[in-house]
Amino acid sequence: MDQVAAAGKAEYPIPTFVNAALGDRVGQCSSGAALADTLTIWQAAAPHIDILTPCIYRPVFSEWATLFHRAGNPLFIPETRADPGYAVWAFGTHALIGFSPFAYERTADRNTPLARAYDVLGQLAPLILEAQAKGAISAAVLDPDKQEDSVKLGGYTFEVRQG
């Protein structure tokens, strides 16, 4: 993979990423993938690859995102479900640099929840980027399986609950 990335960068100096197919639970994964527990090995063995990324289709989105976002590996989600909550949460919590739902172009129109979220995120992008650089942004997301969350930011703890 490193040889392919190096050859590509010789032609076009653009960032390169490798995505990992994940299992149903954290700790259960496809073999041979650039996984969170082998991320350091991949970074050492394949220095021409800029980002190791998870394809997250499972209900443990936040756990997988947290495992892949670490020093030297910004968070980019190249494949996932078209869930606007995931995008907003990851931009706020992990300084996400990109969110790409799989096959979204087949069902996209400007009235879908994700299209509306992209519109709002696009309008807020300058503020989001500034806050990400300062470490002054976070987010909470609630869903049927998670009815409450807490967020620490600027010396405060915000408790978020549904209802």
- Give me the DSSP letters along 104-137: GGGT--TTSHHHHHHHHHHHHHHHHHHHHHHT--
Q: In the predicted model, is pLDDT for residue 36 greater than 60?
A: yes
The structure's pTM equals 0.83
Tokens 């073999």 correspond to what residue? 31
Looking at residue 121, its pLDDT comes to 93
Give the rounded distance of the alpha carbon of 40 from its chain centre: 18
How would residue 22 be classed by pLDDT, with cut points 50, 70 and 90? confident
pLDDT tens-place string over residues 48-84: 999 999 988 877 788 889 989 988 899 999 999 888 8
Q: In the predicted model, is pLDDT for residue 130 greater than 90?
A: yes
Q: In the predicted model, is pLDDT for residue 151 greater than 70?
A: yes
Looking at residue 102, its pLDDT comes to 78
Comparing 130 with 40, which gets the higher pLDDT? 130
Looking at residue 157, its pLDDT comes to 95
Give the distance between the most distant pair of CA atoms in the chain: 54
H-helix or E-strand spanning residue 161: strand 156-161
Parse the chain into domains and list their residue ranges: 2-161
Looking at residue 103, its pLDDT comes to 65
Looking at residue 26, its pLDDT comes to 56
Among candidate residues 32, 54, 34, the one with its CA nearest the CA of residue 44: 34
Q: Name the DSSP letter for residue 73.
A: B
Mean pLDDT of the region 101-107: 69
Comparing 102 with 72, which gets the higher pLDDT? 72
Fold classified for 2-161: TIM Barrel (3.20.20)
Tell me the average pLDDT of the chain. 86
